[in-house]
Structure 1
Protein backbone atom coordinates (compact mmCIF):
# COMPACT_ATOMS: atom_id res chain seq x y z
CA UNK A 1 0.00 0.00 0.00
CA UNK A 2 1.44 3.42 -0.98
CA UNK A 3 0.54 6.16 1.52
CA UNK A 4 2.43 9.14 0.18
CA UNK A 5 4.90 9.39 -2.61
CA UNK A 6 7.58 6.76 -2.16
CA UNK A 7 6.23 5.42 1.17
CA UNK A 8 4.85 1.90 1.25
CA UNK A 9 3.70 -0.54 3.92
CA UNK A 10 3.62 -4.29 3.40
CA UNK A 11 3.32 -7.39 5.48
CA UNK A 12 6.55 -9.24 6.13
CA UNK A 13 7.60 -12.41 7.91
CA UNK A 14 9.77 -12.18 10.99
CA UNK A 15 12.54 -13.92 9.00
CA UNK A 16 12.42 -11.32 6.22
CA UNK A 17 16.00 -9.97 5.86
CA UNK A 18 14.79 -6.35 6.05
CA UNK A 19 12.83 -7.05 9.26
CA UNK A 20 15.83 -8.84 10.74
CA UNK A 21 18.12 -5.93 9.90
CA UNK A 22 15.75 -3.35 11.38
CA UNK A 23 15.00 -5.32 14.57
CA UNK A 24 18.72 -5.98 15.06
CA UNK A 25 19.38 -2.24 14.70
CA UNK A 26 16.60 -1.53 17.20
CA UNK A 27 18.06 -3.90 19.77
CA UNK A 28 21.54 -2.38 19.29
CA UNK A 29 20.13 1.13 19.75
CA UNK A 30 18.34 0.07 22.94
CA UNK A 31 21.52 -1.57 24.25
CA UNK A 32 23.38 1.72 23.69
CA UNK A 33 20.66 3.69 25.50
CA UNK A 34 20.16 1.37 28.47
CA UNK A 35 23.40 -0.63 28.77
CA UNK A 36 22.93 -3.03 31.68
CA UNK A 37 19.48 -1.61 32.53
CA UNK A 38 17.97 -2.78 29.24
CA UNK A 39 14.92 -5.01 29.77
CA UNK A 40 15.33 -8.42 28.24
CA UNK A 41 13.69 -8.78 24.85
CA UNK A 42 11.62 -11.92 25.08
CA UNK A 43 11.20 -14.39 22.27
CA UNK A 44 8.80 -13.53 19.49
CA UNK A 45 5.71 -15.67 19.09
CA UNK A 46 5.78 -17.88 15.97
CA UNK A 47 2.54 -16.24 14.79
CA UNK A 48 3.92 -12.69 14.91
CA UNK A 49 3.27 -10.63 11.80
CA UNK A 50 5.38 -7.65 10.83
CA UNK A 51 4.63 -4.56 8.83
CA UNK A 52 7.61 -3.26 6.88
CA UNK A 53 7.76 0.41 5.90
CA UNK A 54 9.83 1.42 2.90
CA UNK A 55 10.69 4.81 1.46
CA UNK A 56 11.61 4.67 -2.21
CA UNK A 57 11.95 0.87 -1.83
CA UNK A 58 14.44 1.21 1.06
CA UNK A 59 13.33 -0.45 4.32
CA UNK A 60 13.34 2.18 7.08
CA UNK A 61 10.84 0.92 9.68
CA UNK A 62 8.90 -2.00 11.01
CA UNK A 63 6.47 -3.08 13.70
CA UNK A 64 5.22 -6.48 14.80
CA UNK A 65 1.83 -7.68 16.00
CA UNK A 66 2.21 -10.57 18.42
CA UNK A 67 -0.91 -12.47 19.50
CA UNK A 68 -1.10 -13.02 23.26
CA UNK A 69 -4.55 -14.46 23.95
CA UNK A 70 -8.01 -14.14 22.38
CA UNK A 71 -8.66 -10.42 21.96
CA UNK A 72 -5.20 -9.37 23.19
CA UNK A 73 -2.18 -8.48 21.08
CA UNK A 74 1.16 -6.86 21.70
CA UNK A 75 3.02 -4.29 19.64
CA UNK A 76 6.60 -5.53 19.26
CA UNK A 77 9.84 -4.18 17.83
CA UNK A 78 8.44 -0.88 16.55
CA UNK A 79 11.35 0.92 14.96
CA UNK A 80 12.16 3.65 12.48
CA UNK A 81 15.82 4.05 11.61
CA UNK A 82 17.29 7.33 12.92
CA UNK A 83 17.74 9.20 9.63
CA UNK A 84 14.05 8.64 8.77
CA UNK A 85 12.62 9.97 12.04
CA UNK A 86 10.57 13.13 12.26
CA UNK A 87 8.48 12.45 9.15
CA UNK A 88 5.50 10.84 10.89
CA UNK A 89 6.45 7.31 9.84
CA UNK A 90 5.94 5.92 13.36
CA UNK A 91 2.35 7.16 13.25
CA UNK A 92 1.83 5.30 9.96
CA UNK A 93 3.23 2.10 11.45
CA UNK A 94 1.10 2.42 14.57
CA UNK A 95 -2.08 3.08 12.59
CA UNK A 96 -1.40 0.11 10.33
CA UNK A 97 -0.70 -2.30 13.19
CA UNK A 98 -3.92 -1.19 14.90
CA UNK A 99 -5.81 -1.83 11.66
CA UNK A 100 -4.24 -5.29 11.37
CA UNK A 101 -5.14 -6.01 14.99
CA UNK A 102 -8.78 -5.08 14.44
CA UNK A 103 -8.88 -7.30 11.35
CA UNK A 104 -7.65 -10.21 13.50
CA UNK A 105 -10.30 -9.63 16.18
CA UNK A 106 -7.89 -8.09 18.67
CA UNK A 107 -9.69 -5.62 20.92
CA UNK A 108 -6.78 -4.63 23.18
CA UNK A 109 -3.21 -3.83 22.25
CA UNK A 110 -0.44 -3.56 24.79
CA UNK A 111 3.21 -2.61 24.51
CA UNK A 112 6.36 -2.03 26.49
CA UNK A 113 8.82 0.79 26.02
CA UNK A 114 11.54 2.26 28.19
CA UNK A 115 11.83 5.10 30.64
CA UNK A 116 14.49 6.79 28.47
CA UNK A 117 12.37 6.76 25.33
CA UNK A 118 10.31 9.91 25.86
CA UNK A 119 9.47 10.26 22.16
CA UNK A 120 8.00 6.74 22.09
CA UNK A 121 5.97 7.36 25.25
CA UNK A 122 4.66 10.63 23.80
CA UNK A 123 3.69 8.90 20.54
CA UNK A 124 1.77 6.18 22.34
CA UNK A 125 -0.07 8.48 24.75
CA UNK A 126 -0.93 10.87 21.90
CA UNK A 127 -2.58 7.92 20.12
CA UNK A 128 -4.70 6.79 23.05
CA UNK A 129 -2.42 4.35 24.86
CA UNK A 130 -2.63 4.62 28.63
CA UNK A 131 -0.06 3.54 31.21
CA UNK A 132 -0.69 0.13 32.75
CA UNK A 133 1.06 -1.90 35.40
CA UNK A 134 4.00 -3.86 33.98
CA UNK A 135 3.04 -7.28 32.64
CA UNK A 136 5.28 -10.36 32.43
CA UNK A 137 8.14 -10.44 31.73
CA UNK A 138 8.51 -6.72 32.55
CA UNK A 139 7.04 -6.65 36.07
CA UNK A 140 10.50 -6.46 37.69
CA UNK A 141 12.15 -4.22 35.12
CA UNK A 142 12.57 -0.68 36.51
CA UNK A 143 13.38 0.73 33.06
CA UNK A 144 10.12 -0.55 31.54
CA UNK A 145 6.95 1.41 30.91
CA UNK A 146 3.84 -0.48 29.77
CA UNK A 147 0.85 0.90 27.91
CA UNK A 148 -2.44 -0.47 26.55
CA UNK A 149 -5.22 0.69 24.26
CA UNK A 150 -8.74 -0.55 23.72
CA UNK A 151 -9.40 -0.64 19.99
CA UNK A 152 -12.74 0.64 18.66
Structure 2
Protein backbone atom coordinates (compact mmCIF):
# COMPACT_ATOMS: atom_id res chain seq x y z
CA UNK A 1 0.00 0.00 0.00
CA UNK A 2 1.34 3.42 -0.97
CA UNK A 3 0.29 6.48 0.97
CA UNK A 4 0.50 9.76 -0.91
CA UNK A 5 2.78 12.40 0.59
CA UNK A 6 4.86 10.02 2.75
CA UNK A 7 8.62 10.42 2.82
CA UNK A 8 11.32 8.86 5.00
CA UNK A 9 14.60 10.53 5.89
CA UNK A 10 17.52 9.60 8.09
CA UNK A 11 18.12 11.86 11.08
CA UNK A 12 20.52 12.11 14.01
CA UNK A 13 19.13 12.01 17.56
CA UNK A 14 19.70 15.77 17.80
CA UNK A 15 17.37 16.54 14.85
CA UNK A 16 14.59 18.95 15.82
CA UNK A 17 11.85 16.66 14.48
CA UNK A 18 13.30 13.64 16.31
CA UNK A 19 13.47 15.62 19.54
CA UNK A 20 9.88 16.84 19.17
CA UNK A 21 8.52 13.38 18.31
CA UNK A 22 10.43 11.50 21.02
CA UNK A 23 9.43 14.11 23.61
CA UNK A 24 5.78 13.69 22.57
CA UNK A 25 6.16 9.92 22.83
CA UNK A 26 7.68 10.07 26.30
CA UNK A 27 4.93 12.47 27.44
CA UNK A 28 2.25 10.11 26.12
CA UNK A 29 3.88 7.11 27.84
CA UNK A 30 4.21 9.00 31.11
CA UNK A 31 0.49 9.78 30.99
CA UNK A 32 -0.26 6.11 30.27
CA UNK A 33 2.08 4.47 32.80
CA UNK A 34 2.90 7.17 35.35
CA UNK A 35 5.78 6.29 37.63
CA UNK A 36 5.84 2.71 36.26
CA UNK A 37 7.37 3.86 32.97
CA UNK A 38 10.98 2.68 32.62
CA UNK A 39 13.28 5.51 31.53
CA UNK A 40 16.16 4.29 29.39
CA UNK A 41 18.95 6.38 27.88
CA UNK A 42 19.67 6.06 24.18
CA UNK A 43 22.98 4.78 22.81
CA UNK A 44 25.02 7.60 21.21
CA UNK A 45 25.20 5.66 17.91
CA UNK A 46 21.43 5.42 17.48
CA UNK A 47 20.18 6.25 13.98
CA UNK A 48 16.70 7.65 13.50
CA UNK A 49 14.34 7.62 10.56
CA UNK A 50 11.74 10.38 10.39
CA UNK A 51 8.49 9.87 8.51
CA UNK A 52 6.90 12.98 7.03
CA UNK A 53 3.40 13.30 5.63
CA UNK A 54 3.01 16.25 3.28
CA UNK A 55 6.30 17.64 4.63
CA UNK A 56 5.20 17.46 8.28
CA UNK A 57 7.06 15.11 10.61
CA UNK A 58 4.51 12.68 12.04
CA UNK A 59 6.58 9.66 13.04
CA UNK A 60 10.01 8.30 13.86
CA UNK A 61 11.90 5.16 14.76
CA UNK A 62 15.40 4.60 16.08
CA UNK A 63 17.81 1.75 15.39
CA UNK A 64 20.20 1.31 18.29
CA UNK A 65 23.25 -0.97 18.08
CA UNK A 66 23.44 -3.49 20.90
CA UNK A 67 26.13 -5.99 19.96
CA UNK A 68 27.41 -8.05 17.05
CA UNK A 69 24.44 -8.80 14.80
CA UNK A 70 21.93 -7.34 17.29
CA UNK A 71 19.99 -4.09 17.10
CA UNK A 72 17.16 -2.64 19.13
CA UNK A 73 14.16 -0.65 17.93
CA UNK A 74 13.77 2.46 20.06
CA UNK A 75 11.31 5.34 20.27
CA UNK A 76 8.99 4.18 17.48
CA UNK A 77 6.19 6.73 17.44
CA UNK A 78 3.42 8.13 15.24
CA UNK A 79 1.52 11.23 16.37
CA UNK A 80 -2.08 10.45 17.39
CA UNK A 81 -3.58 12.47 14.52
CA UNK A 82 -1.76 10.29 11.96
CA UNK A 83 -2.53 6.88 13.43
CA UNK A 84 -4.62 4.24 11.71
CA UNK A 85 -3.18 4.79 8.21
CA UNK A 86 -0.40 2.21 8.28
CA UNK A 87 2.44 4.65 8.98
CA UNK A 88 3.84 2.54 11.81
CA UNK A 89 4.08 -0.39 9.39
CA UNK A 90 6.11 1.81 7.03
CA UNK A 91 8.43 2.80 9.87
CA UNK A 92 8.83 -0.81 11.00
CA UNK A 93 9.65 -2.00 7.47
CA UNK A 94 12.15 0.86 7.09
CA UNK A 95 13.99 0.03 10.32
CA UNK A 96 14.13 -3.66 9.39
CA UNK A 97 15.63 -2.76 6.00
CA UNK A 98 18.14 -0.45 7.68
CA UNK A 99 19.10 -3.23 10.12
CA UNK A 100 19.68 -5.71 7.30
CA UNK A 101 21.79 -3.14 5.42
CA UNK A 102 23.95 -2.80 8.54
CA UNK A 103 24.46 -6.54 8.74
CA UNK A 104 22.22 -7.07 11.74
CA UNK A 105 20.62 -10.49 11.97
CA UNK A 106 18.29 -9.91 14.94
CA UNK A 107 16.17 -7.05 16.19
CA UNK A 108 14.69 -6.70 19.64
CA UNK A 109 12.34 -4.21 21.25
CA UNK A 110 10.49 -3.39 24.42
CA UNK A 111 6.94 -2.11 24.60
CA UNK A 112 4.39 -1.71 27.33
CA UNK A 113 1.50 -3.89 28.41
CA UNK A 114 -1.03 -1.13 27.66
CA UNK A 115 0.17 -0.54 24.09
CA UNK A 116 -2.10 -3.09 22.44
CA UNK A 117 -1.79 -1.59 18.95
CA UNK A 118 2.01 -1.78 19.12
CA UNK A 119 1.87 -5.37 20.36
CA UNK A 120 -0.44 -6.29 17.47
CA UNK A 121 1.85 -4.57 14.95
CA UNK A 122 4.98 -6.31 16.17
CA UNK A 123 3.44 -9.78 16.40
CA UNK A 124 1.82 -9.39 12.97
CA UNK A 125 5.28 -8.60 11.55
CA UNK A 126 6.99 -11.66 12.99
CA UNK A 127 8.26 -10.45 16.35
CA UNK A 128 8.00 -13.09 19.07
CA UNK A 129 7.83 -12.60 22.84
CA UNK A 130 11.16 -13.06 24.59
CA UNK A 131 12.26 -12.99 28.21
CA UNK A 132 12.84 -9.42 29.38
CA UNK A 133 16.39 -8.20 28.83
CA UNK A 134 18.23 -5.59 30.90
CA UNK A 135 17.16 -3.07 32.00
CA UNK A 136 13.57 -4.35 31.67
CA UNK A 137 13.84 -7.65 33.56
CA UNK A 138 12.14 -6.25 36.66
CA UNK A 139 9.62 -3.98 34.94
CA UNK A 140 6.08 -5.31 35.38
CA UNK A 141 4.71 -3.19 32.51
CA UNK A 142 7.40 -4.19 29.99
CA UNK A 143 7.02 -6.77 27.24
CA UNK A 144 10.04 -7.72 25.12
CA UNK A 145 10.01 -9.08 21.58
CA UNK A 146 12.61 -10.15 19.02
CA UNK A 147 12.80 -11.10 15.37
CA UNK A 148 15.47 -12.86 13.36
CA UNK A 149 16.05 -11.03 10.08
Provide the rounded CA distance (Å) in 2 between the counterparts of 1:143 and 1:45: 22
Q: Normalization by structure 1: what TM-score? A: 0.96
SS in 1 for 2:111: strand
Counterparts of 1:110-129 in structure 2 under 5 Å? 110-129=108-127
Corresponding residue number in structure 1 for 2:7 = 8
Corresponding residue number in structure 2 for 1:92 = 90
Q: Which ranges of structure 1 fall in alignment gaps of 5 or more residues?
A: none
Tell me the C-alpha RMSD between the 2 structures: 0.7
Q: Post-superposition shift, 1:135? A: 0.2
Q: Which ranges of structure 2 fall in alignment gaps of 5 or more residues?
A: none
Corresponding residue number in structure 2 for 1:138 = 136
Corresponding residue number in structure 2 for 1:59 = 57
Q: Post-superposition shift, 1:4? A: 3.5
Q: Post-superposition shift, 1:37? A: 1.3
> Segments of 4+ in structure 1 off by > 2 A?
none
Q: Normalization by structure 2: what TM-score? A: 0.98
Task: State how many pairs are aligned.
Answer: 148
Corresponding residue number in structure 1 for 2:29 = 30
Equivalent of 1:74 in 67, 72, 77: 72
Q: Post-superposition shift, 1:133? A: 0.3
What do the CA deviations read for 1:48-107 (whole angstroms, capped 9, x no partner)? 000000001000000000000010000000000000000000000000000000000000
